[in-house]
Amino acid sequence: MRIDFTLEDAKAIDHILDDLKNKGQFLLEPESCEASVFARYTAYANHLADNKYVKTSHVKNYGISLYGLSLSGLDFINRGGLTAQFLKEQQKEDIASEIERLTKENLELQNNELKYKDKIRAQESIIRWWQVATAIAGLLGVLLVVLGYIL
């Protein structure tokens, strides 16, 4: 199950990982904080345990105990932790959004170009017809002048 964390959540999880790296443990009891904070930290601890970033975890309604940072947890924190991962995903979303916007804009510009070329072709066709009509009128004029001299 993937949990969508905010940047603040990511920083809090990285703080837990730093405590595990520096102190070897992270402990939190429900009496030491508000219920909503404890609930968030329970989700954080479960996330760390599910991803096997900690060696030992005890997440219960009477307290959170995390002990030791696993090799994958150490590697994860050395790569920047959840904050870096969150920012990278945010950047990917921003890039994808920008690509989508530019693709739409490009398509619109291509459609405008095609409409413009169709308009130019129609105008060129009208010009050709006027040239033909002018040539025919000129020939008729010359023919009438010649017939006028003959008659």
pLDDT in tens, 113-144: 999 999 999 999 999 999 999 999 999 999 99
Write down the domain spans for the chain: 7-79, 94-151
pLDDT in tens, 79-103: 998 899 889 989 999 999 999 999 9
pTM, whole model, 2 decimals? Answer: 0.58
Q: Exposed e or buried b for every residue in 33-62, given b needs 16+ CB within 10 A? A: eeeeebebbbebbebbbeeebbeebebeee
What is the CATH number that goes with domain 7-79?
1.10.10
Per-residue pLDDT, 3: 62
pLDDT in tens, 6-24: 888 888 888 888 888 888 8
Per-residue pLDDT, 62: 81
